[in-house]
Amino acid sequence: MAQVLLPDTQNPNPYAIAQRQFDIAADRLCLDDRLRQVLRVTKRELTVHFPVKMDDGSVEIFTGYRVQHNLGRGPAKGGVRYHPEVSLDEVRALAMWMTWKCAVLRLPFGGAKGGVVCDPKRMSRRELEGLTRRFTSEISIIIGPDSDIPAPDVNTDAQTMAWMMDTYSMHQGYSIPSVVTGKPINIGGSEGRADATGRGVMYVVQEMAREMGLALEGATVAVQGFGNVGSVAARLLHSECGCRIIAVSDHTGGVYNPHGIDPTEAYHYSRANGSLRGLPDSEPITNEELLTLQCDVLVPAALGNQITEANASRVRARIVAEGANGPTTPEADEILAENGVVVIPDILANAGGVTVSYFEWVQDKQAFFWTEEEINAKLRLLMRQSFQEVLERSRAEDVSMRTGAYLLAVSRVAEATQLRGLYP
């Protein structure tokens, strides 16, 4: 949903950041040099340029990517994003983060990501369908239900997945629902998938609040980004935990009310008006101001590189729960740690989405479907267990939750690689 929120000068290269985060863990684990060389880079990268017929009859050429970082623990898994700022390095970083995310949650997947450079907000539904179908066809040489399973990400949704599933199935001659996750429910999607990432954010915030002795009833929350992750996290933190949502934002800017915003009303307002701007009983604020509001919990749930060395010292939240991928730079991480701000890292905090994607894939494979109650209970269990494992590791080694999560993830992937040995 969100577009670029900060100028390019503040957008460090995400792949370089992902590699630095990996290096910190690899150093601490004294990882074997050859293993380090393998895990530090992506395994397979496909770049495609493809034509799409536009509504005015013209033909436009688009560029897209599908990158697989690691397949050691299972088929590659990860979303597809549509955004004008998509780049190969961004997709590489996102693929690597998916590997660690799946390993933190012990899901039997490796990591992948895809992206198309486009501005979906300026394209019609028909053009988006054409783009999705041709992109799927182009990457069909590496995706598949047992090799690489796409899902929604920024600016893609259940409808996008329906077109991808249909296109892939048309190639094969029969329906293959398990080739993508995040589908509409009546073509093999899972109950609970649409809310899963935001719900997972709520579960880890609950865990962290309990650890810190912070009562969530009445706790103040600011949420950057009001797409599939931010809007759901805001709604659930409000309705299930009694939090006071003091600010929310989208790519056009934010709205603030110290007495609380009703996230469900905000959602209906933003869908009806195309943005949150002008929400009744609220004051406008910028995305930048939202990040530095005094609050108990800050949920960055838009794009990457939002909390940087330029603003980290002004972040006044007690807990930062990363709903987005890569919202905090390594420099900002250090500043936040010095200031006692606890960060629940992306590869844990936003893992609810891929966890229910895993449930969806398993259900598709069995052709047997579970209830929403079962899904949410299983999600809660996995998120809580993983949270506790990450917390324990970070306490045992006196490192941040991010480094704790990386230590768990990298050692699991490294072990899988070693167990499998060298081919040939």
Q: What residues are labeled active site?
A: 113
Of 22-30, 73-81, 129-137, 394-402: span binding ligand GLU (CB under 6 A): 73-81
For 208, the token pair is: 């962290």
Residue 77 interacting with ligand GLU (CB under 6 A)? yes
Residue 107 interacting with ligand GLU (CB under 6 A)? no
* Overall size of the chain counted in residues: 424
Report 297-326 residues binding ligand GLU (CB under 6 A): 325
**CB of 329 closer than 8 Å to CB of 17:** yes
Three-state DSSP at 396 gives helix
Report 231-260 residues binding ligand GLU (CB under 6 A): none
Task: Give 34's strand partners.
Answer: none
- Quick one: which of 95, 96, 116, 151 contacts ligand GLU (CB under 6 A)? 151
Q: Which is nearer to ligand GLU, 92 or 101 (CB)?
A: 101
Q: Which is nearer to ligand GLU, 21 or 181 (CB)?
A: 181
Three-state DSSP at 249 gives strand
- Quick one: which of 21, 132, 181, 394 contacts ligand GLU (CB under 6 A)? 181
- Quick one: which of 64, 75, 79, 189 contacts ligand GLU (CB under 6 A)? 79
Q: Residue count at the site for ligand GLU (CB under 6 A)?
A: 13
Q: How far apart are CA 15 and CA 3, in angstroms?
A: 19
- Amino acid of residue 119: D
- The DSSP string of 102-136 is HHHTT-S-EEEEEEEE--GGGS-HHHHHHHHHHHH
Residue 95 interacting with ligand GLU (CB under 6 A)? no
For 101, the token pair is: 């995310």
Site string for ligand GLU, 12-51 (x = CB under 6 A): ----------------------------------------
Of 240-248, 311-319, 347-355, 371-379: span binding ligand GLU (CB under 6 A): 347-355
- The DSSP string of 40-81 is TS-SEEEEEEEEEE-TTS-EEEEEEEEEEEE-TTSSEEEEEE
Binding site for ligand GLU (CB under 6 A): 77-79, 101, 151, 153, 181-182, 325, 350, 353-354, 357
